[in-house]
Structures are given as C-alpha cells and as structure tokens.
Structure 1
Amino acid sequence: MIAETSGLHHVTAIGGAPQNNINFYIKGLGLRLVKKTVNFDDPSTYHLYYGDDSGRPGSLMTFFPWKNVPAGRIGAGQSTTTAFSVPAGSIGWWESHFAALGIDSRISTTDSVEERLSLRDPDGLQLDLVASSVADPRAPWDSASVPAEFAVRGQHSSVLTVRDAAGTAQVLTQELGMHLVSEQGDRLRFAAGDGAAGHIVDVIVDPGAQEGLTAGGTVHHIAFRVPDGETQQVWRQQLVDHGYQVTQILDRQYFTSIYFHEPGGVLFEIATDTPGFDIDEPLLELGRSLKLPPWLEPSREAIEHAVIPIEIPVENNPQSVEI
C-alpha cells in the first residue's frame, strides 16, 4: 500500500427541487451553502455544496438537485445513510428542532458511546445525527438556525450496504489504508487514522438486500480525502495496477477527483483537499453567486436561463461588520 486516505472528503447525493434542498440543509440542518455551481456533466442543473464556514474537506455534503426527479431506491451497492457529527447531549435539542419544522425524527441508538437520531431529508435521503462520547474538536458553522453549541461539526461516517463484505473490506483496508475497528453482528466499522468522526465507514452486510437504484433521495458517491494532486496520481496508478477501472483525473474546480466502483457496487471518489472553495469568491460571500469553471463561462447566459431560480437564505452570508 502506497497511499492512504485521511478520512471522508464529501458525500454527493441526488435531490429534487433545489429550493427545498436549500431550505432543509441551511435552515433545518444548519449547514452553510459554500458553493452554488452546476453539474459539469449536465450544466442545466445545479451542483450545491454545503459544509462548515469555508467548506473544509470532511464537512461537505453536495447535491445534484433535479426538479421532478424520479424517486430512487435505497439498497445494496450504495451508501445508504449519511451521518453527521453533533455534540454530546445535543440530540434532544435536535429532536425538538426538527419537530418544530414538521420533520419526523427518531432516536435510533442510545448507548454510552453513541446516541443517534435518524431522519430523512425532503427527498427521502437517510440521515443520522451522531452524538459521540468522544468530543469532536472541529469548529461548527454558527448559523442563525442552529446555535454553535448544538451545531453539526462535519461528517461523522458513511454507512454502506453490501451483500458480501469481503471485496468492500479489502478495498477499504488494502487500497484506502483504513483499518477494521469493530464488528457487531452484520455491521463492520472501518476507520482511517485515529478513527475520529469524519474518518469512519460502517459496512452493513445484507445478503438479501434489494439492489439500490440511484435517483432522487439516494447517494451518488462518497469521496475520500487525499492531500494533493501528486499523491492522487500515485494513488490512481496503484489502483490501476491492482486491476480497478479508474477514471482519469478530473478537474472539479475546487479539487481534482478520480472515481472507481468498489466490488460491492458503491462508487468511490478520491478528492484532493486543495485548492478549496475560496478561489473564486471571498469567504463571506461563499454560495451567494452562481460560479462556473472557465470552460463553461462562455455559456453563462444559457446556463443561467436553464437552471431553476433559487433564493439563498440571508443567514448563509452574514454581513461583515464595518469598523
């Protein structure tokens, strides 16, 4: 093994009406929209990035939102649950917060190590909030909707559902450099580094699970962190040498990426930590304007007419204080 990941970079899912998506993730979950751009492969729709104040790797959840997208089916060969890290003792606040918004949630796990609140977003995507007994040191986005003392710290983990764990476990350990932390019944936990929140992948083994269908309300892929392009090139070659079908390195403007399917069917991405989301707009203005890569800029007028108009809640871009 030459390269190993330092944890989760982001999760990308497919949503429905973009305004509903924005309202839920900014006002409901309390994340910040750090980039409003388009799907580079289909510029008629958005690619929305949510995270902490600057969109640090490990805090990110991204969406391709298509209005009237058909519902997908959550099942084998997918990341079936996306979990966010919240402070210990905050689950009761979150339960009340979602109830006030008319969103159903339920406490699905309560033990001395983790307390877990489960819910679905407006398109049926399965989400968990995980309050761990191990403090998450990452600073939250202090939004107007969710006070910092309760706020999401970033990704906690991704849950994969596969029919057979052998191939998936091999990729996670031998190709991504993660290690098996625990095995409880049909659930295996793998972690990168010290196994803190944002470094965890849970694998649920269900031989009888129906195959997932990627569409609305499902995860398209999960991405793992790599520090830079040079390491990414080495890693890509390692995967190719081991027989995986890997894409070329693709420019995603705010990072570069490679993609491949692991044996259980889940689409994996390896994404660089750099250059980040502030390369084309100031930190205070992240998410405010539609940003396009240079190769799409000549088509801006057509793209702006094609995408659905959306409104960004004012709390996403607090005004700077004049001195």
Structure 2
Amino acid sequence: MNKVQVQGVHHITIVGSTKQSAIDFWQGALGMPFVMEQPNLGKPDENHLYFDPGDGRLLTVFTNESREDAGRDAPREVGCVEHIAFNVSRATFQQAPARLGARGIDFIQRDRGFMDSIYLRDPNGLKVELACYKFETPAGFRDVDVLMKAQLLRVERGDHHITDEHLADAIEALMTSRPRLDSMEKVATPG
C-alpha cells in the first residue's frame, strides 16, 4: 500500500493568549523574528501570528485579546504535545541560563547523552526545549545519519544510552564510508 511521504515539518501552530504575550515570549525571550500577522481564516475571533524559529520554517500562534496567559503547565495526556524542541548553537546554549534567568524564566538543564537540553515553559505552560547536539555533523551527512549510526553502535555494544564514544565512533564510520580521492583516481585512471 502506498503512503504519503512527508519531507519535514512545515510549521507548528499553538494556541496562545494575547498578541503581546506571544511576541514577548517567542520573539523577545527566544529571538524568533515576528514575520507577519493575519486573521485566523478558520476562526474569525482569533489572530494568526507567524514567527521564524531560525530555519525558515514557521511557528504560528493563534491569539485572542480576550484571553489571559494560562499560567499553568500544559496538559500532559495521551494525544497532547509533550514539548517542542528548537535547535540552538553551543554558544547560545551556554549563554541561555543567564539570559533566561535575567528574564525571570525558570528552566531545568539536562544532559541527554547525545545532546544537551534546557527546558522552560511559555506563558501558557507549553514546555519548550532548547537543544544542542554534542557533535558537529560532517559535510554531506545529516544529523540523523550520525544518530542512527550511534544508535546501532550503542545497541551492538549493549550500552544503556548514546554517549560521546558512540558519537565519535559513528562520525568516524561515516567518514570512512566516503569515497576517497585515491580510490577515485584508480577508477578514473585509464589502463
């Protein structure tokens, strides 16, 4: 049976409170440029705000000036979104605790083995993750290529979770799989 093949996340839409609350958090605290605003064409009493999370895709927020910030944790039930994660550079990750603290935003920091994470909440309780991989993906490969190879190594070795060693060995294996100039010259040399 044929399937619908997706090619990446197009955008994420969340339900927010007011326009200013959304701008203060997504643009002010997290640095996402405010791209545009238009009415929510499916629900005329709401506005639809668009932000750029840094990769040219969109994060959008439905707002209504009659709503207030929820000020509580978002539901964590079957069918609910647990959190949304955004990529940050190592330099930004290292500065994030001080910058969030200066804004009075509570957060927790975690080592996830293959990445570092900071978790915080938007004004309506949605958990947001700032994630930073512990590796630099070699040119010609994708982050997921490194992670898939590291996972295979982890499982082969019977280890609990991915560590720096799995990442380093995965990158080495990927780099070794590339065609080398000397092997390419042998193919290209006549005779």
TM-score by length of 1: 0.39
- Partners of 1:68 and 1:117 lie apart in 2 by 28
- Partners of 1:102 and 1:70 lie apart in 2 by 16
Contact 1:16 1:65 in 2 (8 A): yes
Q: Which has the higher strand share?
A: 1
- Partners of 2:33 and 2:44 lie apart in 1 by 22
Matching residue's letter, 1:27 = G
State the 4+ residue runs in structure 1 displaced beyond 4 angstroms: 69-72, 180-185
Q: How does 1:69-148 map to 2 (within 5 A)?
A: 71=70, 73-107=75-109, 109-135=110-136
**CA shift in 2, pair 1:73/1:3, >3 Å:** closer
Q: How does 1:255-274 map to 2 (within 5 A)?
A: none
Contact 2:18 2:69 in 1 (8 A): no
- Provide, for residues 93-121 of structure 1, a one-character-per-residue CA deviation record: whole Å limited to 9, x for no partner: 011111101111110x2155200000001
Tell me the CA shift for residue 128 of structure 1: 0.2
**CA shift in 2, pair 1:98/1:111, >3 Å:** same
- Partners of 2:52 and 2:7 lie apart in 1 by 18
Report the counterpart of residue 41 of structure 1 in structure 2.
42
Residue 9 of structure 2 is aligned to residue 11 of structure 1: no
Report the counterpart of residue 68 of structure 1 in structure 2.
67
- Provide, for residues 142-169 of structure 1, a one-character-per-residue CA deviation record: whole Å limited to 9, x for no partner: xxxxxxxxxxxxxx9xxxxxxxxxxxxx
Q: Which has the higher helix share?
A: 2
Matching residue's letter, 1:82 = I
Which SS does the other structure have where 1:8 is aligned?
A: coil
- Partners of 1:68 and 1:2 lie apart in 2 by 40
Structure 2 unmatched ranges of 5 or more: 161-191
Structure 1 unmatched ranges of 5 or more: 138-155, 157-179, 186-323
Report the counterpart of residue 32 of structure 1 in structure 2.
33
**CA shift in 2, pair 1:133/1:21, >3 Å:** same
TM-score by length of 2: 0.63
**Which structure has the bigger radius of gyration?**
2
Contact 1:105 1:119 in 2 (8 A): yes
Contact 1:15 1:65 in 2 (8 A): yes
Contact 1:120 1:127 in 2 (8 A): yes
Tell me the CA shift for residue 130 of structure 1: 0.2
Which SS does the other structure have where 1:42 is aligned?
A: coil
Tell me the matched-pair count.
140
Contact 2:53 2:59 in 1 (8 A): no
**CA shift in 2, pair 1:69/1:100, >3 Å:** closer
